[in-house]
Amino acid sequence: MDREVTDKNLNRILTKGWLYRGEGNANVVLSLPSCHKILRIKKCDKPQTILQWFLFWIMEIFHWDITSDMQQEKRDLDFYNLIMVPLLGSWYTQPAVSIETTKGDIKKLEFELANFRPEKRKHKGLKVGMASIFVDYAFLPTTFNSFCREGVTYAVEIKPKKGFMEDDRVIDKCQFCVKQYLKIKNQQIKKLSSYCPLDLFSGDTEKICRALKALISNPQNNLRIFCNGVYYYGENTSQDKFYTMLNELFECSDNDLINHFCALVTRALLKASPLNRNCLHCDDAGTETNLPKGCVLERILALQKLNRLGVAEYNNVLKKLNKCKSNNFSYVDRLLKKISSDNEFCPRCTIEKVILGSEKSQPDDLDLVPYMISAIANDLSLMVTFQKIPKLACEHEDRIIQVKDLRFFVDIGVFDLYPKPVSTIEKHMKVQMEMETAYMSAMQGSA
């Protein structure tokens, strides 16, 4: 990893400076600018009732739950490092490391975070035991930017979402576009987005630019831009900031500024990486696309298309397995066990041949793996990071993109790759029915 974190003491790491990057339902994410890393800490439900407070107090005294939490974090980290990194390739992902956390560290951090966290997220606290540190893709790797240390680094974070449609779709629209109507109904957004993931994953430069312009116009939580690692543009920010950035970036104020920007990001997304020699990728059968082989969008789409049966069929498999919450991650344990017993393990080959290609009389946990990895790929984020460099030859020409007589050093990272619980399948089934109902209702209302 670039700039390894050798200090594993959370308090000392945080005293060097941190920035609140954001959070989802399961994790809080902090940026560590001094070492260009991301700190990810799992969240837990805060006690609400007297009984829950009593149990919480008992657990704090005896540390009953910390060992279990640490084992879960190790399992998730192993899944990330041993499954997801090889699947996407080392060109786009870097291994993560773990650090231990104490009750005192976490309590202090929760107090300092209070002013940054949105109210809707404060019903959850931070887990004690173990956290993970990842490369922060909002910065260029220091091993590559020795020739442009003085310039401004911009990073465009995109949450692309599902880039294809199953053959059995009831509605002739992609999942993202249909879900917009459910979000409108639930007052989660004020207006529909014109962004469509099918455009982004099309391989057509005009459609990709159209998708990017739609994200710029209405970012929601699918687009964020960072300047030197600090959040700069996205949801609830003025578009004037975005155009100010373009003026500085391209050193002009012509009408094609946004086209220059979209051309830069599009070329980065379509730029094919060298083959990842550390991974035994098979031929990705059944994932034919118009995308260049090895580009970041092609890698992501190949994982999304591991879901070949649809959520309804996987929900039936889940019912046959009679899963309960305690078995939410048994598919991860099974997959990691298979790695330990196979020296020539290739995640994709295993999924294609052993899981998708198998004929068994009874389903088992491994049968859920294609859907679960597909679900991760549908929700991951990618970061296109770039910096303007002098018009001089450099040793990393494979990372240079030229737009409007300007040269940019570009790097791409993919993150948010941790395993999801199998209860995600039931959740997706429920949401699919809700969003189709919301869409049909909206169409009838406009007729």
Q: Is 358 left (phi over 0), alpha (psi -120 to 50) or beta?
A: beta
The burial of 160, by beta-carbon neighbours within 10 Å (0-12 exposed, 13-18 middle, 19 or more buried), is given as buried
Which pLDDT belongs to residue 55? Answer: 58
> Quick check: helix, strand or coil at residue 317?
helix
pLDDT tens track for 92-111: 999 999 888 888 888 899 99
- Taking the C-alpha atoms of 311, 316, 321 and 323 in order, what is their torsion angle to the nearest 10 degrees? 60
User: What secondary structure does DSSP assign to 314-367, as a single string?
Assistant: HHHHHHHHT--GGGTTHHHHHHHHHHHT-TT--HHHIIIIIITT---SS--GGG
- Cα separation, 296 vs 425, whole angstroms: 26
Which pLDDT belongs to residue 344? Answer: 62
Among the listed residues 203, 198, 195, the one whose alpha carbon sits nearest the alpha carbon of residue 223: 195
pLDDT tens track for 169-206: 778 899 999 999 999 999 999 999 999 999 999 999 99
Domain ranges of the chain: 10-136, 137-446
- Cα separation, 46 vs 54, whole angstroms: 12
Q: Would you state the structure tokens that stand for residue 222, as one six-digit string?
A: 């699918």
- Cα separation, 201 vs 321, whole angstroms: 34
Considering the chain, what percentage of its residues have pLDDT values greater than 70? 83
- Taking the C-alpha atoms of 435, 436, 441 and 444 in order, what is their torsion angle to the nearest 10 degrees? 140
> Quick check: helix, strand or coil at residue 30?
strand
Q: What is the mean pLDDT of residues 312-339?
A: 84
pLDDT tens track for 21-48: 988 888 999 999 988 999 999 888 776 6
Higher pLDDT, 89 or 198: 198
258 near 213, Cβ under 8 Å?
yes
pLDDT tens track for 258-302: 999 999 999 999 998 765 444 444 554 445 678 998 899 999 999
CATH number of the domain at 10-136, please?
A: 3.30.200.110
User: What secondary structure does DSSP assign to 224-281, as a single string?
Assistant: EEEETTEEEESTTS-HHHHHHHHHHHHT---TTHHHHHHHHHHHHHHPPPPP-TTS--
37-45 and 27-32: which strand pairing?
antiparallel
